[in-house]
Amino acid sequence: MIRVKTVTGFVLRFELVNMEYEIGTGEPVSTAVVRAVSVVVGDEPGSIPRLAHVLAPDALDSLFEPQSDGAPRSGGRLSFVYCQCHVTIENGEYLTVRPLDSYTPDDRRP
What's the confidence (pLDDT) of residue 17?
67
Q: What would the pLDDT profile of 6-37 be if each residue is shown by its tens digit?
A: 544 444 344 556 788 899 888 999 999 999 99
Q: Of the candidates 91, 75, 74, 72, which has an alpha carbon nearest to the alpha carbon of residue 20?
A: 91
Mean pLDDT of the chain: 81
Give the total residue count for the chain. Answer: 110
pLDDT in tens, 64-82: 888 888 877 778 899 999 9
| Stated pTM of the model | 0.78
* Contact predicate 94/27, CB 8 Å: no
Confidence bin at 3 (pLDDT 50/70/90):
very low
- Which of 15-24, 37-46, 79-88 has the highest average model confidence (pLDDT)? 79-88
From residue 33, give the alpha-carbon distance in Å to each of 45, 53, 69, 70, 94.
Answer: 10, 13, 26, 23, 10
